[in-house]
Amino acid sequence: MKKLLFLALVIFSSAGSGCGPEPLYSDNRLLMGTTIEVVSPDKRACQIVFDEIARVEKLLSIYDPESEIARLNRFGFIKASPETAFIVKKAIEFCRASEGAFDITVGSLVDAGGFKNNAFRVPTSAQIRGLLKTVGCDKIILNECDNVIQFKLSGVKINLGGIGKGFALDSAVKELRKHKIRSCLINAGGQVYALGRCFDKPWKLGIRDPRGKRLIGFLVLENQSVSTSADDQRFFIKEGRRYRHIIDPATGYPATSGLISVSVVASDGVTADALSTAIIVLGAKKGRELLRKFPGAQLVSAVEEDTVEH
């Protein structure tokens, strides 16, 4: 049965129109494969955020052959920076908490579907069976003393697409705080962090309906992140079947929970990002059980496929 769960909402975009008597500075840049929009009453904020996100992208991107993650995937071994080791450690924790629904070792399956370069193809079931042998967080060995990361098997590939933007936002916020900037909204294509307040009010985000037609609500955030994972954004259709970019690590095929859009609010970007991806795989019921392990994290929207129009 097709039905509407919770609120049929997705995050619209940052509030750029002003929230107080003084001007807000805003700018945007193409980074991490998306447009990063920054709004702040402090004119230094935009550049600080762009520089920090560009720095994180250089560590984590699978598109840059010299990034730490690309080299780890190539050699199966790396002495990583403390930050790369930290995000891999967090990813392993989310993998365990979600009983494997969130799993960064889906890299080879994401590549096999052609999602990395938009050269989409359907892997054969034999290919998927083979690649599944390289999936599982237990295939990653992380030595926290020296930040050495290695894979137990050859062929393992990690992909931080489900958690990297959240980490980049958290890093940017840390950098803003270092510069004593206490108010800023960053929108990284559906992944938002709202630092502090906009003058004397919390940041307010417009929310549109999943069909993209009109504003139907607002979300109010203060020192919080919201992440939307939408499994209708990157997909291709082959022989009437829709293949999506979020993979169920249990089967090796795209997730089939029926959820196409999930928005999670949390006090940090990494948590919101990882949980929204995990819940697309788990579905709403198991997703709510997962959220109970993360006090402060909230499911603000979960949209099932073919929900009724507003």
Give the residues lining the site for Mg ion (CB under 5 A). 162, 273, 277
Chosen residue from 84, 147, 159, 225 binding ligand AMP by CB under 6 A:
159
Show the tokens assigned to 297.
């994290």
Show the tokens assigned to 38.
């920054």
Show the tokens assigned to 236.
């291709």
- Non-local (6+) Cβ contacts of 240 within 8 A are none
Strand partners, 235: 244
Lay out the site mask for ligand AMP across 161-200 (x = CB under 6 A, - = otherwise): xx--------------------------------------
134 binds ligand AMP (CB under 6 A): no
- Non-local (6+) Cβ contacts of 145 within 8 A are none
Partner that binds at residue 301, options ligand AMP, Mg ion, none, CB closer than 5 to 8 Å by kind: none
Chosen residue from 246, 290, 300, 302 binding ligand AMP by CB under 6 A:
246
287 binds ligand AMP (CB under 6 A): no
30 and 284 Cβ atoms separated by less than 8 Å: no
CB atoms under 10 Å from CB of 163, counted, come to 27
Partner that binds at residue 302, options Mg ion, ligand AMP, none, CB closer than 5 to 8 Å by kind: none
Chosen residue from 102, 151, 167, 193 binding ligand AMP by CB under 6 A:
102
Give the Å distances, CA to CA, from 296 to 189, 227, 303. 23, 14, 21
Q: Minimum Å distance from CB 245 to ligand AMP?
A: 4
Strand partners, 263: 228, 301
106 and 151 Cβ atoms separated by less than 8 Å: no
User: Binding residues for ligand AMP, how many (CB under 6 A)?
Assistant: 18
In terms of CB distance, is 38 or 110 closer to ligand AMP?
Answer: 110
In terms of CB distance, is 45 or 56 closer to Mg ion?
Answer: 56
Distance in angstroms (rounded) separating the CA atoms of residues 39 and 77:
39
Q: Minimum Å distance from CB 276 to ligand AMP?
A: 6
Q: Minimum Å distance from CB 185 to ligand AMP?
A: 19
Distance in angstroms (rounded) separating the CA atoms of residues 39 and 188:
12
* Chain residues in the site for ligand AMP (CB under 6 A): 102-104, 106, 110, 115, 159, 161-162, 229, 245-247, 249, 273, 276-277, 281
